[in-house]
């Protein structure tokens, strides 16, 4: 059995169960515990997992419980993230917006996926640093205290100089007639710039936000190529979006 094969097996086991015991793996793969120990040590050095006494744990399993438990409607958001991840291919160049739903997407990116990922969100950037195969590029600018994303002239200018395959964005409010709207004018400006710099725009939104609107408009609903909610695409709640040219997942 090749070393590389073992590494793959170990990684997928870790991803699947969040943790493994060295003794278990050694028995499963029928090699000595020393070999497994060395394998895991290497994988740790490569930041693919975290080695602990007696075994290893997944990097994602850093149950930063404070955040995980405080996210509103986490269940729905991670469903959305799951669907979004399916759009990604090796080599994709993407942009990820701020907000808890997009953060969940960042968290869900598989460890073996090769990506170049732009973001103006500090928490998203933080999360992406845990992904060994993701190149992270930060869009700079003044940082908003509430939303923890860079905004303002500088951020918008930086965005004007890039073009990404997909951008994954969140929104404060969305309505099939009024489009995407926000409470904050500055945020609207950056979102516009994000949409402009992407070949395809994917909106991530929990169904609770559907049919709501606010003061400032980001874009028409037609500017969105794909919309992802936690609902089944055939759900009646999505009917009003179906006569637009949007893919619904």
> Under the rule (CB under 7 A), what is the footprint of DNA?
1-3, 6, 21-23, 31-35, 37-39, 41, 51-55
Q: Is 21 in the site for its own copies (CB under 8 A)?
A: yes
Question: Shortest gap between Cβ of 138 and its own copies (angstroms)?
Answer: 4
**Alpha carbon distance 78, 238 (integer Å):** 19
> Are the beta carbons of 244 and 221 closer than 8 angstroms?
yes
**Partner in contact with 47, chosen from DNA, its own copies, none, beta carbon below 5 to 8 Å by kind:** its own copies
**Alpha carbon distance 231, 25 (integer Å):** 38
Q: Is 30 in the site for its own copies (CB under 8 A)?
A: no
Residues 6+ apart with CB under 8 A from 146: none
Residue span 183-202 as binding mask against its own copies, x where in contact by CB under 8 A, dash where not: --------------------
Nearer to its own copies, 32 or 135 (CB): 135
Site for its own copies in 122-181 (CB under 8 A): 122-123, 125-126, 128-129, 132, 135-143, 145, 148, 150, 154-155, 158
Whose CA is closest to 121, among 170, 66, 178? 170
Burial 130-162 (b: 16+ CB within 10 A, else e): bbeebebbbbebeebeebbbbbeeebbebbeee
Q: Distance of CA 43 to CAs 27, 38, 136, 209, Å?
A: 19, 9, 21, 41
Q: Is 55 in the site for its own copies (CB under 8 A)?
A: yes
Q: In the complex, which residues of this chain contact its own copies (CB under 8 A)?
A: 2-5, 8, 11-12, 15-16, 19, 21, 47, 50, 52-55, 57, 61, 63-67, 69, 120, 122-123, 125-126, 128-129, 132, 135-143, 145, 148, 150, 154-155, 158
């Amino acid at each position: 059995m090749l070393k590389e094969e073992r590494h793959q097996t170990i990684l997928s086991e870790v991803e699947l169960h969040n943790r493994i015991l060295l003794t278990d793996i050694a028995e499963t793969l029928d090699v000595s515990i020393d070999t497994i120990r060395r394998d895991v040590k290497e994988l740790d050095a490569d930041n693919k997992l975290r080695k602990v006494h007696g075994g290893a744990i997944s990097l994602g399993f850093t149950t930063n419980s404070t955040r995980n438990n405080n996210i509103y409607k986490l269940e729905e958001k991670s469903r959305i993230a799951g669907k979004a991840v399916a759009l990604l291919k090796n080599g994709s160049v993407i942009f990820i917006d701020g907000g808890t739903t997009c953060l969940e997407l960042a968290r869900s990116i598989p460890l073996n996926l090769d990506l170049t990922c732009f973001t103006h969100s500090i928490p998203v950037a933080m999360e992406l640093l845990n992904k060994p195969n993701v190149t992270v590029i930060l869009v700079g600018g003044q940082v908003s205290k509430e939303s923890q994303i860079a905004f303002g002239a500088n951020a918008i200018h930086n965005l004007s100089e890039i073009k990404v395959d997909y951008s994954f964005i969140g929104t404060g409010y969305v309505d099939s007639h009024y489009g995407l709207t926000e409470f904050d004018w500055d945020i609207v400006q950056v979102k516009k710039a994000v949409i402009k710099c992407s070949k395809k725009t994917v909106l991530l939104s929990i169904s609770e936000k559907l049919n709501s609107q606010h003061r400032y408009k980001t874009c028409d609903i037609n500017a969105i190529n794909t919309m992802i909610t936690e609902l089944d695409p055939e759900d009646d709640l999505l009917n009003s979006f179906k006569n637009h040219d949007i893919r619904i997942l």
